[in-house]
Amino acid sequence: MTADSFFAGGIGLATLNARGQCIEAYYPEPQLQPEADMLRDFFSAAQLEQDTACRLLTRDQVRACNNSPRLAELAASEAWHDAKRGLIVTVIRRDRPLTSVAESYLKLHLLSHRLVKPNAVNLQGIFKILPTLAWTNEGAIEAGAINLRLREARLAGRGLHIFALDKFPPLLDYVVPAGVRIADTARVRLGAYLGLGTTIMPAGFINFNAGTLGPNMVEGRISQGVVLDAGSDLGGGASTMGTLSGGNDTLISVGRSCLIGANAGIGIALGDNCTVEAGLYVTAGAKVVLQAEGKTVRARELSGRDGMLLRRNSQHGYIECLPNSREFALRAELHE
Catalytic residue selected from 219, 277, 327, 333 = 219
Query: Residue 2's pLDDT is what?
Result: 46
- How far does CA 162 lie from the centroid of its chain? 21
Distance, in Å, from the CA atom of 210 to the CA atom of 205, rounded to the nearest integer, reads 10
Question: Where in the chain are the domains?
Answer: 3-129, 136-166, 173-334
pLDDT at 54: 79
pLDDT tens over the chain, length 336 residues: 444 567 898 888 899 998 889 999 999 989 998 876 666 666 665 556 655 567 887 666 666 665 566 566 666 666 555 678 888 888 888 899 999 999 999 999 999 999 999 999 999 999 999 999 999 999 999 999 999 999 999 999 999 999 999 999 999 999 999 999 999 999 999 999 999 999 999 999 999 999 999 999 999 999 999 999 999 999 999 999 987 655 456 789 999 999 999 999 999 999 999 999 999 999 999 999 998 888 999 999 999 999 999 999 988 999 999 999 888 777 776 777
CATH architecture of the domain with residue range 3-129 = 2-Layer Sandwich (3.30)
What pLDDT was estimated at residue 100? 93
In 161-266, the DSSP E strands lie at 162-166, 181-182, 192-194, 199-200, 205-206, 210-212, 217-218, 221-222, 227-228, 233-234, 239-240, 253-254, 259-260, 265-266
The whole-number pLDDT of residue 192 equals 98
Going by their DSSP bridges, the two strands 239-240 and 85-92 should be labelled as unpaired
Amino acid letter at 104? S
Q: Which fold has domain 173-334?
A: UDP N-Acetylglucosamine Acyltransferase; domain 1 (2.160.10)
Q: Is the pTM of this model over 0.85?
A: yes
What residues contact 28, with CB distance under 8 A and at least 6 apart? Answer: 11, 13, 74
Does 336 participate in catalysis according to the annotation?
A: no
Reported as type and span, the H/E element at residue 121 is none
| Residues facing 135 on adjacent strands | 140, 164
